[in-house]
Amino acid sequence: MKQLLFILSLFLTVSLTAQNYSFTLIPDSLLKDADAVQRIEETRINIHSIKSATVKHKVAYTVLNENGNNFAGYANLYDNFQKLTEASGKLFDATGKQIKAVKKKEMDDVAYNDNFSLAGDGRIKRHNFYYKAYPYTVEYEEEQVYNGIYEFPTWQPMDYYDFSVQASSYIIEMPLDYKLRYKLINGASEPVVTNNANAKILTWQASNIKPVKYEAYQPPLSRLMPAVLIGPVDFEYGGYSGNLSTWDNYGKYFASLYKGRDVLPENIKAAIHKLVDGLPDRDEKIKALYSYLQQNTHYISIQLGIGGLQPFDAKYVAEKKYGDCKALTNYMVSILKEAGIKAYSAVIFGGKNFPYVYEDFPKHYFNHVVTCVPDVKDTVWLECTSQTQSAGYAGTFTGNRKALLVTEDGGKLVNTPKYDANNNLQVRKITARIDEDGNLMADVFTHFTGIQQELQHSLFHDVNQEDREKYLNRTLNLPTYKVEKIEYKEIKNAIPAMDESLTISSPNYASVTGKRLFVMPNLFNKESRLTENASRHFDIVFKDSYRDVDSIFIRLPQGYSTESLPKDVTLSNKFGSYKISFKVKDNTIEVIRVREQQEAVFPAAEYPQLVAFFDAMAKADRSRLVLVKN
């Protein structure tokens, strides 16, 4: 009882003052440039043991305008490991008067549909008051009971744009002998620590955080805003216990989940030996086996119980011919092992916007598993959920980041491949002609490699001809036109390439006025202007390196002479380089354009120079040539 009183008194100050949701209590500094204001957020984690905890969460948002409405809805994804025991919501008007309330049983409850899983036990509790008289305030409270823990929510009070925070707090209460790890990032402060006879309590608080405006090429908020990462040392999840104090130990936890799941049926073993025993080297074998996997299995996601972390065994995949990323990877690793090639499952984050992995703070930063075939100099990465990827290519989905290898000796954090400008090419040659009416017929041949071929790879493999045409019709920004021919050729490699051949006709591409013909000879590859920011706050980040080379040849109708020829432009600075040149020779316009950019970070102060650079390129890319009939 004493303990309870103590907790109450700790909360009284926070709760009672913030409970009044009158709009007038929001400081002006939090209203400017905000669509919504978080009035209060309290996350309270009560850890009972290494596998059990109760998490109470309360949050209130004042929505200021239509854009802020996306803060107003409530949704909670829960499953058997994280049961949702309580949920309720309240709606308040501008003066802070409560006008409506909702209980847990009145909220919608639907199966979690991620649009790609066949089955899962995740469910979503959701609700929305759909109120529209601004400003208004919603408050939601929920309680979740963790039955199995391997991670805790991160506390990052400011995690949206055009949004401000009046108060946020994060409290962890745990048994005195419980070992907790935390890491302060981007300038977060140490917690206030209090102890009593039975428990230790850590409290973090923040208040009055002003809105942030999104800026082009900025780093993600998670790299800028103060936050606290929190993690267990010893833990238990799904009946398996583990330790997260080191990557080595976390890898061991996975190893225990994967143990004994690599047994292949005899017929598959035989098939593998038949396939690779005659092949001369490791590389050939890996390619042959990866291709075998791609032809014989496909991706189906089933996430039930510990299935979120533990794969179906190799036998299951061998029989059903399908599995999710873990199951397919585990199967691939088993196949390679049968062929005498050492390989590991590698836990990773799949997706373009991947979180930063703090090496000194082991945590589950991941959502995906791939195969890693290690080698002193020639490590090969295999994406087992794809039927079309080249062996060894990680690309924007899993490249240039950290992965955790699950080895027999524990976990090892390693880097995946990174791609430079020489890897990411777009080399295009356009051979075209324009007739007297301004109609254009063009053959466009483009060689794409690395990251730059990903779109074409997917146009080739994932969609049909009609969708390709639709895509091109949208992308190639011509007034009216038709793609007469589309052909792709794939060149599989660790740096894969796609060759694209298009034949395009565009009626009236060149505009004709009386005796003149106006032509914009740079058909497709145009930079856009950047939005100007009066005051730039954040660093400028270029994520990728690439090089584009365009050679354009447009044959003109007979009897025209050049009235106006655009100027050549050469720009080279710390942001990259750009060169475009125009000439008319033998009745043919010739344009050569070379553009290169390197992965880099620049200070915010240099933004005006970047804007000027893009303006200059955008203008030169739209240069017009005027011809006049003799």
Partner 1 sequence: MHNRETTFLWLVFLLMAAQVYNVEKVYGQQKIPINFGKVKLEDFNIYSPVIDSNTNAVVIADVGKTEFIPNTNDNSFSFVFTRQTRIKIINKKGFDAAVVTIPLYVGVDGRSEKMERLKATTYNIENEKVKETDLEKTDLFTERRNKNLDYKKFTFPALKEGSIIEYSYEVKSDFFFNLQSWYFQGEYPVLWSQYDANIPEFFKYAILAQGYHSFLINKVNNYSASFSFSGRESRAVGDNTFNGSRGMPEDNSFKIEGIVDYHTWIMKDVPALKPEPYTTTVNNAIAKIEFQLNEVRFPNSTPTYYMASWEKMSKDLWEDVRFGAAIDKPNNWLDDEVKNIVKGAVTQHEKVQKVYDFMQRNFSCNLQNRMYITDGLKEVFKNRTGSVADINMLLIAMLRNIKIDAEPVILSTRSNGYTHEIYPLMDRFNYVIAHVMLDNSAVYLDATEPRLAFGKLPSELYNGHARLISKDRATAIYFSSDSLKEAGSTNVFISNLEKGGVQGSIMQVLGFYETLDLRDKMAKTSTAQLVKTIKESYPEEIEVENVTIDSLKILDQPVTLKYDLNIKLFGQADIVYFNPMLAEAIKKNPFAAAHRFYPVELPYTKDDIYSFHMEIPQGYKIDELPKSVRFNLNENEGMFEYIISADAEMIQMKCRLVVRKTRFLNDDYESIREFYSLIVKKQSEQIVFKKIK
Residues that bind partner 1 (CB under 8 A): 65-67, 99-100, 108-111, 118-119, 128-133, 295-296, 298, 300, 302, 319-322, 387-388, 438, 461-466, 469-470, 473, 477-482, 507-508, 511-516, 518, 529, 531, 563-564, 615, 619, 624, 626
- Our CB check for partner 1 shows the closer of 137 and 545 to be 137
360: Cβ contacts below 8 Å, ≥ 6 apart: 183
Q: Which string of DSSP letters, residue by residue, matches 455-505? A: HHHHHHHTS-HHHHHHHHHHHS--SS-EEEEEEEEEE-SSS-EEEEEEEEE
Amino acid at 130: Y
- Our CB check for partner 1 shows the closer of 128 and 598 to be 128
Compute the least distance from the CB of residue 309 to partner 1, in Å.
Answer: 19
Separation CA 378–CA 595 (nearest Å): 31
Compute the least distance from the CB of residue 544 to partner 1, in Å.
Answer: 25
Separation CA 40–CA 168 (nearest Å): 6
- Our CB check for partner 1 shows the closer of 463 and 605 to be 463
CA 500 to chain centre: 27
Compute the least distance from the CB of residue 32 to partner 1, in Å.
Answer: 12
Compute the least distance from the CB of residue 558 to partner 1, in Å.
Answer: 20
Compute the least distance from the CB of residue 442 to partner 1, in Å.
Answer: 16
Contact 554, 588 (CB under 8 A): yes
Determine the 3-state secondary structure of 12 from DSSP: helix
Which tokens in the block code for residue 565?
Answer: 């020829």
Compute the least distance from the CB of residue 624 to partner 1, in Å.
Answer: 7
Q: How buried is residue 327: exposed, middle or buried, by Cβ count under 10 Å (0-12/13-18/19+)? A: buried
Compute the least distance from the CB of residue 325 to partner 1, in Å.
Answer: 16
Compute the least distance from the CB of residue 564 to partner 1, in Å.
Answer: 6
Task: Give strand pairing partners of 593.
Answer: 550, 580
Count Cα neighbours of 565 within 13 Å in the Cβ-side half-sphere: 14
Which tokens in the block code for residue 453?
Answer: 């071929």
- Our CB check for partner 1 shows the closer of 77 and 99 to be 99
Task: Give which of 447, 504, 515, 444 is closest to 479, Cα–Cα.
Answer: 504
Separation CA 41–CA 207 (nearest Å): 10
Task: Give which of 86, 170, 70 is closest to 128, Cα–Cα.
Answer: 70
Determine the 3-state secondary structure of 32 from DSSP: coil
- Our CB check for partner 1 shows the closer of 85 and 531 to be 531
Cis peptide bond prior to 135, omega within 30° of 0: yes
Which tokens in the block code for residue 134?
Answer: 């601004």
- Our CB check for partner 1 shows the closer of 189 and 528 to be 528
- Our CB check for partner 1 shows the closer of 191 and 438 to be 438
For residue 174, give the H/E element and its range.
Answer: strand 163-175
- Our CB check for partner 1 shows the closer of 320 and 337 to be 320
342: Cβ contacts below 8 Å, ≥ 6 apart: 336, 373, 374
- Our CB check for partner 1 shows the closer of 184 and 616 to be 616
Compute the least distance from the CB of residue 394 to partner 1, in Å.
Answer: 21
Name the pairing type of β-strands 180-185 and 108-111: unpaired
Separation CA 279–CA 416 (nearest Å): 27
Q: Report residue 44: phi and psi, to 5°.
A: -130, 115
- Our CB check for partner 1 shows the closer of 512 and 592 to be 512
Compute the least distance from the CB of residue 508 to partner 1, in Å.
Answer: 4
273: Cβ contacts below 8 Å, ≥ 6 apart: 338, 339
**How many Cβ atoms are within 10 Å of 416's Cβ, its own excluded?**
19
Q: State the DSSP code for 25.
A: G
- Our CB check for partner 1 shows the closer of 469 and 568 to be 469
Place of tokens 């009183």: 5
Compute the least distance from the CB of residue 304 to partner 1, in Å.
Answer: 8
Task: Give which of 163, 141, 209 is closest to 69, Cα–Cα.
Answer: 163
Q: How buried is residue 33: exposed, middle or buried, by Cβ count under 10 Å (0-12/13-18/19+)? A: middle
Compute the least distance from the CB of residue 77 to partner 1, in Å.
Answer: 15
Compute the least distance from the CB of residue 256 to partner 1, in Å.
Answer: 25
- Our CB check for partner 1 shows the closer of 187 and 479 to be 479
- Our CB check for partner 1 shows the closer of 52 and 508 to be 508
Determine the 3-state secondary structure of 314 from DSSP: helix
**How many Cβ atoms are within 10 Å of 349's Cβ, its own excluded?**
19
Compute the least distance from the CB of residue 443 to partner 1, in Å.
Answer: 19
- Our CB check for partner 1 shows the closer of 151 and 162 to be 162
Contact 61, 83 (CB under 8 A): no
Compute the least distance from the CB of residue 514 to partner 1, in Å.
Answer: 4
- Our CB check for partner 1 shows the closer of 130 and 187 to be 130
Compute the least distance from the CB of residue 100 to partner 1, in Å.
Answer: 6
Separation CA 329–CA 371 (nearest Å): 6
Place of tokens 């075209």: 432
- Our CB check for partner 1 shows the closer of 410 and 507 to be 507
